[in-house]
Amino acid sequence: MESPADQFDLIVLGGGTGGYTAAFRASQLGLRTALVEADLIGGTCLHRGCIPTKVMLESADLLARMRDASAFGLEAAGVGANMAAIARRRTDTVNRLTGGLMSLVRKNRVELIHGRGVLESSRVVRVALAGPDGLAEGERVIQATNLILATGSRPRSLPGLVPDGRRIVTSDDVLTSEVIPPSLIVVGGGAVGVEFASFYRDMGTEVTLVEYLSSLVPLEDAEIGRVLERAFRRRGIEVMVGARLDPEAAVADDAGVTVSVETVAGVGRRELHAAQLLVATGRSANVSGIGLENTQVVVESGVIRVDPYMRTAEPNVYAIGDLVGGLLLAHVAAHEGIVAVETIAGLDPEPVDYSIMPRATYCRPQIASVGRSEAELTRDSVPYVAGKFPWLANAKAVIGGDHEGFAKVLAHAETGQILGIHLIGPHVTDLVAEGSLGMNLAARVQELAHTVHPHPSLSEALAEAAMAVSGQSINV
Amino acid sequence: MESPADQFDLIVLGGGTGGYTAAFRASQLGLRTALVEADLIGGTCLHRGCIPTKVMLESADLLARMRDASAFGLEAAGVGANMAAIARRRTDTVNRLTGGLMSLVRKNRVELIHGRGVLESSRVVRVALAGPDGLAEGERVIQATNLILATGSRPRSLPGLVPDGRRIVTSDDVLTSEVIPPSLIVVGGGAVGVEFASFYRDMGTEVTLVEYLSSLVPLEDAEIGRVLERAFRRRGIEVMVGARLDPEAAVADDAGVTVSVETVAGVGRRELHAAQLLVATGRSANVSGIGLENTQVVVESGVIRVDPYMRTAEPNVYAIGDLVGGLLLAHVAAHEGIVAVETIAGLDPEPVDYSIMPRATYCRPQIASVGRSEAELTRDSVPYVAGKFPWLANAKAVIGGDHEGFAKVLAHAETGQILGIHLIGPHVTDLVAEGSLGMNLAARVQELAHTVHPHPSLSEALAEAAMAVSGQSINV
């Protein structure tokens, strides 16, 4: 431990998106950096989250377009999906991106230490090294001036509903599966739940989506949830909102899973049966087993308490990503990592502002948003005006044959400052970036309205929605 | 003429994108507005330009993806295109959008006058009315306090190369055609030429693309042209740059077209033969036959001279769109129309700033840009730094299987202000909008770099390119 080789400026515990981003930026800023990861670099996002699901959804989207090919003057016979081949592409893509990250580790001269790290103090980490075969292979004690904790999260089920990896599964399970269940109950209508519901429906599965709250994607603007619900119903997904599944009453056997669902309104119980049940009811931060008890770091409601520079209660220990709760999004973790590192390097970065973090969900239609919803603005007593523009009135969406949904811009009624952008429809997971930039620059809605957008493009919908705030849309 | 019914606050001459946008906004601002159009509302963009080409290119893009379906774990047999069906969809889409515009004319209470208008003075327009069958049906004289001229443009050939609509054709001709020529020479490697080259190649045509200047899309940053050339060559398009076609030597007969092409470097002449030759060598403004001689409006180099508020030399007469030259883009015309109307209404708008107008080309790979190129900045002696990010390093582009090209951000070396954004690759015709907003807000490159973009999304490439300006990309 006294060896200079074990002495770093920064140790990052956890090699997910937040962790490796922090480590790369730290090295760019001249910090000697160690990145400790027990598993493969890339974390949940690359191995059990964003990336593998997006590979699956990319195939599903293309499949849906191919089924509609004749509408575009194209011909094809025997259109279908081969789940084993999709799964192979999923593995290949993850491996390729993992390889890319490994070369970035080398390029950035980050020391990647393969093993499970436990804090012995606020500056010392004991790593149980993992050999090439993943088995324990001795240990190494390292120390640093600063630490960033980024150990991520894992799927959480409902109390009493225990995933068995076969009939009752989590996202971790289905992301290594090559099987399309004939029928599936998805419990949880948040981003993860609706993405899987969308995917499996395209693959031909009979999907029932059960959400406890009164609308799908309950963290989004309420109107988004309503449009998604309608779109999902039209696609043949059975949507149950305001519905409580009794976790204790679930029965899994060789024939599948049987559960009992009660509508909150109390209309009565219903028995549901399916080949599989996918639990998508949230995630728990990995705060245990990493030695927090040897530090002054404070855990509250299961997540680490931090300030907007990602500082914990322990001087020189920072925490980022799913570990600190909140949005649980890879790009938020990456941003938190950069803010933490720039704080450590004395660069005086802007604090993390969660009110301008974009959110993106890759179901069909896609959903994306940044800023506050109408309900949140009403709750906060902020006077606002909404401007809305339907994709049906956007020429490029009509040309693309994909024109369900709308773009909505919320602006302060007096100052015109943009307070929220809510999108459901084609390619909105990319289009929302313009909203993020605008909100980051504290743009007024008039500035968005007067920005010239290429014609015909989907991006025009944002300017039209901005114009609609003052009743001056051109194309609707 | 003395009838109040013939008295308007504003007459807009020409019902293309610029014209109808101006008319709608004028009505929203309370101006009694007449819109004079001899043909269908929508102009070149809707009937002979942007919209029908994008319908064709949408089918071509889907066809290309379908041919690659097995890479996504999908199955299909007999993948092909039916040009007659694509042409039907093209007509249906144009008709649908035309119907939409007609209902907006009614909603905005714009008086649409169907006929050919000629200025008798700076306030009086004589309209040769067209009946429902398109034939002349009397005339009507109207007058207004202000006039906006928006009569657009038409394809221009090379001197001596006369389109016959059969062997030697323009974009007007191919946009009503249902035929895929077995071979095609495209003369002109600008936006129009490369879009048609891209489309017909996907349809199986042997395409030769002849450009006089030394690179394709010569108005774009030079690096864009090089990547496009490579991509086109890989797709089997024969690209000849720095090549002069002798317009006088073109011979069209039943067998096709034979032309002689000389490389500017003087390596020698080559004879090219193809079933068709498409002339895509630019457009001429429609300045004739509209009565400009009865006004003080000044025509210079074939276009109307205007100031940045679109005012001509004749008080109260404005001109917009292709008629004033420059970029010849529908969204620029629309913006010019709004600035002209807001000037007329006394709203004191920002002047039109051509340095922040986005440009979008829908070939494959797509091209989009805003601001100045490296060559322009060098010419203008502006010290700049370039940041570049390849799509190959963007996870979503890898997932989409479409990762040719790059995103490039040019920033002022001292102030960090964003001076140009140049994109070639997937969906960039939408992604460029973020650059437009940034440049409209005079954003610094650090602000773009610090804006959080959803992961995984294509939009991340802009932030990464912005980070690259200071050598701090994360994912490359």
**Residue B175 CB partners (closer than 8 Å, separation 6+):** B48, B49, B52, B53, B90
Share above pLDDT 70 across residues of chain A, in percent, rounded to a whole number: 99
DSSP H/E element including A384? strand A384-390
Give the pLDDT confidence of B416-466 residue by residue, as tens digits: 999 999 999 999 999 999 999 999 999 999 999 999 999 999 999 999 999
Same domain, A258 and A177: yes
pLDDT at B344 over 80: yes
Q: Give the count of beta carbons closer than 10 Å to the beta carbon of residue A149.
A: 33
CA distance A427 to A362: 9
CB burial of A454-476 (b: ≥16 within 10 Å; e: otherwise) equals bbbbbbbbbbbbbbbbeebbbbb
SS3 labels along B59-79? HHHHHHHHHCHHHHCEEEEEE
Q: Find out whether B37 and B112 touch, Cβ atoms under 8 Å.
A: yes
Q: Residue A65 domain-assigned?
A: no
Instruction: Give the domain CATH number at A228.
Output: 3.50.50.60
Q: Residue A474 domain-assigned?
A: no
pLDDT at B137: 84
Q: Residue A55 domain-assigned?
A: no
pLDDT at A466: 98
Same domain, A255 and A226: yes
Using the beta-carbon criterion (under 8 Å), do A93 and B51 form an inter-chain contact?
no
* Helix spans in B130-238 (H): 171-174, 191-202, 222-234
Q: Select from B260, B281, B302 the last residue of a domain.
A: B281
Per CB-CB distance under 8 Å, the chain B contacts of A400 are 58
pLDDT at B269: 86
pLDDT at A2 over 60: no
Side by side, which strands form the sheet with A183-187?
A168-169, A276-279, A183-187, A206-210, A238-240
pLDDT at A344 over 70: yes
Q: Select from A281, A311, A333 the last residue of a domain.
A: A281
Residue B246 is which amino acid?
Answer: D
CA distance B462 to B458: 8
Per CB-CB distance under 8 Å, the chain B contacts of A431 are 430, 433
Give the mean pLDDT of B96-125. 97
User: Using omega within 30 degrees of 0 as the cis cutoff, is the peptide bond preceding B308 cis?
Assistant: no
User: Using omega within 30 degrees of 0 as the cis cutoff, is the peptide bond preceding A247 cis?
Assistant: no
Q: Find out whether A433 and A442 touch, Cβ atoms under 8 Å.
A: no
Q: Residue A69 domain-assigned?
A: no
pLDDT at A266 over 80: no
Q: What share of chain B is helix, strand, coil (3-state, %, to 5)?
A: 35, 30, 35
Same domain, B244 and B292: no
Using the beta-carbon criterion (under 8 Å), do A427 and B430 form an inter-chain contact?
yes
Nearest-by-Cβ selection for A331 from B62, B357, B455: B455
A163 CA to centre of own chain = 21
Q: Find out whether A150 and A73 touch, Cβ atoms under 8 Å.
A: no
Cα dist. A432→A67, A193, A384 in Å? 28, 21, 20
Per CB-CB distance under 8 Å, the chain A contacts of B104 are 474-476
**Residue A175 CB partners (closer than 8 Å, separation 6+):** A47, A48, A49, A52, A53, A90
Instruction: Give the domain CATH number at B401.
Output: 3.30.390.30
Establish, for the pair of chains A and B, how many residue pairs have beta carbons separated by less than 8 Å. 272
The DSSP symbol for B417 reads B
Same domain, B273 and B238: yes
Q: Residue B68 domain-assigned?
A: no
Gap from A25 CA to chain B (nearest CA, Å): 7
Same domain, B166 and B312: no
DSSP assignments along A355-378, one per residue: GG--EEE-SSSEEEEEE--HHHHH
Same domain, A277 and A288: no
Give the pLDDT confidence of B332-341 residue by residue, as tens digits: 999 999 999 9
Same domain, B29 and B138: yes
Using the beta-carbon criterion (under 8 Å), do A450 and B350 form an inter-chain contact?
yes
Closest CA to A248 of A256, A258, A236, A238: A258
Using the beta-carbon criterion (under 8 Å), do B66 and A69 form an inter-chain contact?
yes
Please give the mean pLDDT across all residues of chain B: 96
Extract the tokens encoding A315: 């001087």
pLDDT at B136: 78
Q: In A23-73, where do the E strands start and end? A: 33-37
Residue A4 is which amino acid?
Answer: P
pLDDT at B443: 98
Give the pLDDT confidence of B181-230 residue by residue, as tens digits: 999 999 999 999 999 999 999 999 999 999 999 999 999 999 999 999 99
Same domain, B18 and B148: yes
pLDDT at A86 over 60: yes
pLDDT at B342 over 60: yes
| β partners of residue A472 | none
Please name the residue that has the structure tokens 């993020």: A436
Residue A326 is which amino acid?
Answer: G
CA distance B316 to B340: 10
Please name the residue that has the structure tokens 């067998």: B255
Same domain, A138 and A170: no
Instruction: Assign A1 a pLDDT band (cuts: 50, 70, 90).
Output: very low
Give the mean pLDDT of A393-398. 98
User: How many residues in chain B?
Assistant: 476
pLDDT at A162: 93
| β partners of residue B418 | B411
pLDDT at B2: 57
Gap from B344 CA to chain A (nearest CA, Å): 17
Cα dist. B357→A442, B289, B352, B427 in Å? 21, 30, 9, 18
Gap from A6 CA to chain B (nearest CA, Å): 25
Give the pLDDT confidence of A156-170 residue by residue, as tens digits: 999 999 999 999 999
Residue B376 is which amino acid?
Answer: E
Q: Give the count of beta carbons closer than 10 Å to the beta carbon of residue B401.
A: 17
Mutation target to probe the A interface, by most A beta carbons within 10 A, among B437, B445, B467 is: B437
Give the pLDDT confidence of B256-290 residue by residue, as tens digits: 999 999 986 666 889 999 999 999 999 999 999 99
Per CB-CB distance under 8 Å, the chain B contacts of A72 are 58-59, 62, 86, 89
Using the beta-carbon criterion (under 8 Å), do B93 and A399 form an inter-chain contact?
yes
pLDDT at B473 over 90: yes
Q: Find out whether B146 and B318 touch, Cβ atoms under 8 Å.
A: yes
Q: Residue B443 domain-assigned?
A: yes
Mutation target to probe the A interface, by most A beta carbons within 10 A, among B27, B82, B403, B434 is: B434
Gap from A31 CA to chain B (nearest CA, Å): 14
CA distance A128 to A290: 11
Closest CA to B325 of B293, B364, B362, B298: B298
Using the beta-carbon criterion (under 8 Å), do A400 and B434 form an inter-chain contact?
no
| β partners of residue A8 | A144
Same domain, B210 and B338: no
Closest CA to B331 of A457, A402, A447: A457
pLDDT at B264: 66
**Domain extent at residue A420:** 365-468
Nearest CA in chain B to A22: B474
Mutation target to probe the B interface, by most B beta carbons within 10 A, among A21, A82, A452 is: A452
Count of domains in chain A?
3
Q: Find out whether B314 and B307 touch, Cβ atoms under 8 Å.
A: no
pLDDT at A265: 66
CA distance A106 to B179: 54
Same domain, A254 and A196: yes
Q: Select from A354, A382, A416 the last residue of a domain.
A: A354
pLDDT at B3: 78
Using the beta-carbon criterion (under 8 Å), do B80 and A84 form an inter-chain contact?
no
Q: Find out whether A51 and B399 touch, Cβ atoms under 8 Å.
A: yes
Using the beta-carbon criterion (under 8 Å), do A453 and B358 form an inter-chain contact?
yes
Q: Residue B381 domain-assigned?
A: yes
Gap from B450 CA to chain A (nearest CA, Å): 8
Same domain, B248 and B297: no
B150 CA to centre of own chain = 16
> Reduced to 3 states, what is the DSSP secondary structure of residue B361?
strand
Give the mean pLDDT of A83-100. 98
Q: Residue A82 domain-assigned?
A: no
Please give the mean pLDDT across all residues of chain A: 96
Instruction: Assign B1 a pLDDT band (cuts: 50, 70, 90).
Output: very low
Angle between helices B222-234 and B191-202 (to 10 degrees): 20
DSSP H/E element including B13? strand B7-13
Cα dist. B19→A60, B26, B334 in Å? 41, 10, 7
Share above pLDDT 70 across residues of chain B, in percent, rounded to a whole number: 99
Question: What are the counts of helices (DSSP H) followed by strands (DSSP E) for chain B?
Answer: 13, 25
